[in-house]
Amino acid sequence: MRVTVDDERCRGHGVCCSACPEVFTLTDDGYAVAKAEIPAELAERVRSAAESCPERAITAQ
- The residue ranges of every structural domain in the chain are 3-60
| Residue 27: predicted pLDDT | 96
The third-level CATH classification (topology) of the domain covering 3-60 is: Alpha-Beta Plaits (3.30.70)
Residue 57 confidence (pLDDT): 98
Report CA Rg, the chain.
10
pLDDT value at position 20? 97
Q: Model pTM?
A: 0.91
pLDDT tens per residue across all 61 residues of the chain: 999 999 999 999 999 999 999 999 999 999 999 998 899 999 999 999 999 999 999 999 8
Instruction: List Cα–Cα distances, 27 to 14, 21, 33, 40, 61, in angstroms.
Output: 11, 13, 7, 24, 23
